[in-house]
């Protein structure tokens, strides 16, 4: 009997429980970073909100991509995961506002993706697959049982990526 | 038959206003932003323009000035939700003949048109 | 963000409630005027709720939601968003367009346009009031109508203003047309800067 574990804004969830599914619902401009150690069967999901701190507040918060990724890896490693084995997939980072008349395009989504790629590259971590960009929200799921990761958009079926 | 140019980015409203005016015997042409309004004005020389303000590409106040630059006798009525004092003043100073705030009463619009067309 | 808290006093919330209610009533009267049909609005409750609680109240973070969003420019820069579940949006469109309830089942171009105009009139009414009371001119962008998962839509406000812990105003409005009535919740999410500008007058 599977149980969903919701991962809200700025949150991280790490699990070895085969019956759990880690879920980040409705990622708009937010980016979901999923990691899985296939040997130990440890899954982790980060729901990052912003590329970097706006005005010096909450500097250590995991809602920022960099902090979040570091904390995600830290927690998974503390449970026995090996960083080099981690299978990483990312999803989200949509630009939700694209209509004419909005003088500045809302580009947080793009900036979140860029920061994610930069941070992971700095740590020499390879991204196996990604479902990012566009202008639609996504729900990101990680099945702890086998590390399967899926996304679902409104009106569409859940698909593995 | 007088020709009215209806300028508004909301298709819903253009259709509503058109129906209203055609029912009263006017000929109606439409434009969805200030830039297209300017082009339509130059091409079709309407008798009166009903101009929204908040639009993409070119807003109504800029379009008002552009149209008057092309035809100093142009009759433009602003039809907008933006009823702030500073905006009304700017429109009138720029040469708008009337200023109607949305939501509007049908009679107010028809009355304003009749006044200008005579 | 402590400055924000102290400005969201009871008095200010009451004021925001009053002008938001008037904004909605005003917009609906306008549609009635244009349609020639009686459409009245009764705005019942108004309260402050946490932004992060909105998905739960609307149903769920994945629920299909309609948002009418606009930015403001000029003397006061900020953003406003009206948020409602998809079904409610259908009912609202039916009323605005003078159709029997249940007619609209998909938000096509015309339907989104009707919602866009509702957002324009309601939002601008609010801004006009703020402008007249602060002496600063403030102009909205044309509203954008979006349909997506609730959580994804709220990202727009949360990410831009970084205010996920803040509270917003929720209004319950009942639209009545003849025998029919539909209840819609409107969320007024003024940007902190808008509130601060008002408080600074």
pLDDT in tens, A13-46: 999 999 999 999 999 999 999 999 999 999 999 9
Contact: C117, B10; criterion CB under 8 Å: yes
What CATH number is associated with residue C68?
A: 3.40.1550.10
* Residue range of the domain that includes C115: 2-199
3-state SS assignment for residue C72: strand
What are the extents of the domains in chain B? Answer: 3-117
Domain ranges of chain A: 3-160
Interface of B with A in 1-60 (CB under 8 A): 9, 55-57
Structure confidence at residue C132 (pLDDT):
80
**DSSP bridge partners of B28:** B4
SS3 state of residue A14:
strand
B82 pLDDT tier (thresholds 50, 70, 90): very high
Fold designation for A3-160 = 60s Ribosomal Protein L30; Chain: A; (3.30.1330)
- The token pair at A78 is 């503390």
Using pLDDT thresholds of 50, 70 and 90, give the confidence band for residue B28: very high
pLDDT tens readout for residues A109-148: 999 999 999 999 999 999 999 999 998 999 999 999 999 9
Burial C93-118 (b: 16+ CB within 10 A, else e): bbbbbeeebeebeebeeebbbbbbbb
**Does C52 reach chain A within 8 Å, measured CB to CB?**
yes
State pTM to two decimals.
0.84
- Token pair 């579940």 is found at C85
Q: Do C113 and B83 touch (CB under 8 A)?
A: no
Give the nearest chain B residue to A99 (CA atoms): B56
Q: Which CATH number fits domain B3-117: 3.40.50.720, 1.10.730.10, 3.40.50.2300, 2.40.50.1070?
A: 3.40.50.2300
CA of residue A28 relative to chain centroid, distance:
11
Please state the rounded mean pLDDT for residues C177-201: 64
Parallel, antiparallel, or unpaired for β A42-48 and A12-15? antiparallel
Q: From the CB of residue B117, how many other CB atoms can be counted at a distance below 10 Å?
A: 13
Give residue A7's pLDDT.
Answer: 95
**How confident is the model at residue C127, as a pLDDT?**
80
Inspect the interface and report whether the beta carbons of B10 and C30 lie closer than 8 Å. no
Query: CA-CA distance, C92 to A56, in Å (whole number)?
Result: 42
pLDDT at A103: 41
Quick check: A102 and C154 CB within 8 A?
no
Beta bridge pairs of residue C181: C176
CA distance C160 to A106: 8
Nearest to C125 by CA among C65, C188, C168: C188
Enclosing H/E stretch for B91: helix B85-94
List the structure tokens of C102. 């249940």
Total domains in chain C come to 1
Asked whether this complex has an ipTM greater than 0.90, the answer is no
């Amino acid at each position: 009997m599977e149980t969903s574990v919701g991962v809200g804004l700025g949150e991280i969830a790490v699990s070895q429980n085969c019956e759990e599914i880690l879920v980040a619902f409705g990622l708009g401009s937010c980016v979901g970073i999923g990691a899985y150690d296939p040997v130990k069967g440890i899954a982790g999901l980060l729901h990052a909100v912003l590329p970097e701190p706006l005005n010096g507040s909450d500097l250590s918060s995991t809602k920022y991509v960099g902090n979040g990724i570091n904390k995600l890896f830290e927690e998974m490693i503390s449970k026995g995961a090996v960083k080099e084995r981690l299978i990483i997939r990312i999803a989200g980072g949509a630009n939700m506002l694209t209509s004419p008349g909005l003088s500045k395009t809302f580009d947080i989504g793009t900036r979140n993706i860029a920061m994610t790629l930069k941070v992971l590259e700095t740590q020499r971590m390879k991204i196996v697959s990604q479902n990012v960009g566009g202008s639609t929200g996504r729900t990101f799921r990680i099945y702890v049982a086998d590390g399967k990761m899926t996304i679902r958009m409104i009106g569409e079926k859940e698909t593995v990526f | 038959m007088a020709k009215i140019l209806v300028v508004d980015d909301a298709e819903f409203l253009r259709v509503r206003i058109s129906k209203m005016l055609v029912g009263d015997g006017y000929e109606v042409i439409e434009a969805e932003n200030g830039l297209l309004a300017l082009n339509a004005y130059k091409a079709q020389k309407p008798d009166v323009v009903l101009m929204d303000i908040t639009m993409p590409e070119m807003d109504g106040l800029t379009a008002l000035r552009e149209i008057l630059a092309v035809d100093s006798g142009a009759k433009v009525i602003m039809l907008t939700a933006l009823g702030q004092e500073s905006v009304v003043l700017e429109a009138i100073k720029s040469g708008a003949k009337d200023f109607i705030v949305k939501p509007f009463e049908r009679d107010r619009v028809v009355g304003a048109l009749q006044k200008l067309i005579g | 963000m402590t400055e924000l808290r102290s400005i969201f006093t009871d008095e200010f919330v009451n004021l925001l409630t009053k002008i938001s209610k008037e904004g909605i009533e005003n917009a609906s009267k306008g549609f009635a005027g244009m349609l020639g049909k009686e459409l009245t609005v009764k705005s019942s409750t108004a309260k402050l709720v946490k932004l992060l609680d909105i998905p739960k109240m609307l149903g769920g973070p994945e629920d299909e939601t309609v948002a009418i969003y606009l930015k403001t420019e000029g003397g006061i820069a900020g953003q406003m968003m009206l948020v409602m579940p998809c079904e409610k949006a259908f009912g609202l469109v039916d009323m605005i367009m003078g159709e029997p309830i249940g007619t609209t089942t998909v938000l096509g171009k015309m339907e989104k346009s009707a919602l866009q105009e509702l957002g324009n009139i309601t939002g601008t009414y609010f801004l006009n009031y703020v402008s007249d009371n602060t002496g600063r001119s403030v102009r909205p962008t044309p509203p954008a109508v979006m349909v997506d998962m609730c959580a994804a839509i709220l990202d727009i406000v949360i990410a831009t203003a970084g205010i996920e812990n803040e509270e917003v105003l929720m209004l319950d409005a009942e639209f009545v047309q003849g025998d029919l009535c539909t209840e819609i919740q409107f969320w007024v999410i003024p940007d902190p800067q808008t509130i601060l500008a008002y408080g600074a007058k």
